[in-house]
Amino acid sequence: MLRKLFKFHGGVKPQTNKVQSTTQPIAPVPLPERLVIPLHQAVGGHPRPLVAPGDKVFKGQRIGGADGSLSSAVHASTSGIVRDVAPALMPHTSGLTTLSVVIEPDGEDRWGELDKVNYRTTPPDELRDFLRDAGVVGLGGAVFPSYAKLKPGKEGRLKTLVINGAECEPFITCDDLLMRERAADMLKGIVAMRHMLQAEEVLIGIEDNKPEAVAAVQTAIAASGQTGIEAVAIPTRYPAGGAKQLIRVLTGIEVPHGRRSTDFGVQCFNVGTAYSIFEALEFGRPLISRVVTVAGNVDLPRNYEVLIGTPMDHVVRLSGARADTDRYIMGGPMMGVRLPAFDVPVVKATNCILVGSPALFPPPPPEMPCIRCGECAKACPADLAPFEMYWFSRSKNFGKAQEYHLFDCIECGCCSFVCPSHIPLVDYFRFSKSEIWARERDKSSSDAARDRFEFKNFRQEREKQEKAEKLAAKAAATREKVAADSQAGTANPAAEAPDTAKPTAPSAEDTKRALIAAAMEKARQQKAQVAPKNTEQLSAETQADIDAIEARRAVSAATPPTPDA
At 170, which CATH number? 3.40.50.11540
pLDDT higher than 70, residue 419 = yes
Tell me the DSSP string of 353-404.
Answer: EEEE-TTTSPPPPPP-------HHHHH-TT---HHHHHHHHHTT-HHHHHHT
Please say which residue of 356, 384, 406 terminates a domain. 356
What pLDDT was estimated at residue 118?
87
C-alpha distances (whole Å) from 106 to each of 38, 56, 102, 315 are 20, 10, 13, 19
pLDDT higher than 80, residue 293 = yes
Please say which residue of 435, 462, 489 terminates a domain. 462
What pLDDT was estimated at residue 505?
52
Q: Has residue 310 been placed in a domain?
A: yes
What pLDDT was estimated at residue 479?
83
The H-or-E segment that residue 282 falls in is: helix 271-283
Give the count of domains, the chain.
3
Q: In what order do the strands lie in the sheet with 337-338?
A: 27-28, 302-307, 289-296, 352-356, 327-330, 337-338
User: What are residue 268's phi and psi, to 5 degrees?
Assistant: -125, 135
What pLDDT was estimated at residue 565?
38
Q: Using one digit for the tens of pLDDT, what is the confidence trace for 139-164?
A: 987 889 999 999 876 666 789 999 99
Q: Are residues 261 and 317 in the same domain?
A: yes
**Which whole number is the average pLDDT over 308-312?**
97
Confidence of residue 233 (pLDDT cuts 50, 70, 90): very high
Instruction: Please report how the helices 425-490 and 540-558 are oriented relative to each other, as an axis angle in degrees rounded to 10.
Output: 100
**Which whole number is the average pLDDT over 79-93?**
95
Q: Using one digit for the tens of pLDDT, what is the confidence trace for 333-375?
A: 999 999 999 999 999 999 999 999 999 999 989 999 999 999 9
What pLDDT was estimated at residue 165?
95
Q: Are residues 167 and 283 in the same domain?
A: yes
Q: Are residues 120 and 148 in the same domain?
A: yes
What pLDDT was estimated at residue 558?
56
Confidence of residue 405 (pLDDT cuts 50, 70, 90): very high
The H-or-E segment that residue 64 falls in is: strand 62-65
pLDDT higher than 90, residue 377 = yes
Handedness of CA 242, 248, 253, 258 (dihedral sign): positive
Cα–Cα dist 505/31, whole Å: 111
pTM for this predicted structure: 0.78
State the amino acid at position 11 in one-letter form.
G
pLDDT higher than 50, residue 502 = no
Q: Are residues 131 and 208 in the same domain?
A: yes
Q: Has residue 54 been placed in a domain?
A: no
Q: Are residues 240 and 303 in the same domain?
A: yes
pLDDT higher than 60, residue 506 = no
What pLDDT was estimated at residue 517?
73
Nearest to 133 by CA among 149, 114, 152: 114
Q: Are residues 168 and 316 in the same domain?
A: yes
Q: Are residues 318 and 423 in the same domain?
A: no
Q: Are residues 173 and 258 in the same domain?
A: yes
Q: Are residues 336 and 202 in the same domain?
A: yes
Tell me the DSSP string of 135-185.
Answer: T-B-TTTT--BHHHH-S--TTSSEEEEEEEE---STT--HHHHHHHHHHHH
Q: Are residues 352 and 400 in the same domain?
A: no
Please say which residue of 356, 382, 397 terminates a domain. 356
| Parent domain of 389 | 367-462
Q: Has residue 12 been placed in a domain?
A: no
Cα–Cα dist 72/523, whole Å: 72
What pLDDT was estimated at residue 449?
86
Cα–Cα dist 250/206, whole Å: 10
Q: Are residues 412 and 291 in the same domain?
A: no
Q: Using one digit for the tens of pLDDT, what is the confidence trace for 432-449?
A: 999 998 888 888 888 888
Q: Has residue 482 been placed in a domain?
A: no
Q: Has residue 295 been placed in a domain?
A: yes
Which residue would you say has higher pLDDT here, 351 or 545?
A: 351
Cα–Cα dist 400/406, whole Å: 9
What pLDDT was estimated at residue 528?
61
Most confident option among 392-406, 439-453, 484-498? 392-406
Q: Are residues 282 and 430 in the same domain?
A: no
Q: Has residue 184 been placed in a domain?
A: yes
Across the chain, mean pLDDT equals: 88
Q: Has residue 425 been placed in a domain?
A: yes
What pLDDT was estimated at residue 501?
45
Q: Is 502 left (phi over 0), alpha (psi -120 to 50) or beta?
A: beta
What pLDDT was estimated at residue 1?
57
C-alpha distances (whole Å) from 51 to each of 20, 110, 188, 264, 308 are 41, 17, 33, 43, 17
Q: Has residue 72 been placed in a domain?
A: no
Computed on alpha carbons and rounded to an integer, the radius of gyration of the chain in Å comes to: 39
What pLDDT was estimated at residue 465?
87
What pLDDT was estimated at residue 496?
45
Cα–Cα dist 482/493, whole Å: 20
**Which whole number is the average pLDDT over 220-233?**
94
pLDDT higher than 80, residue 552 = no
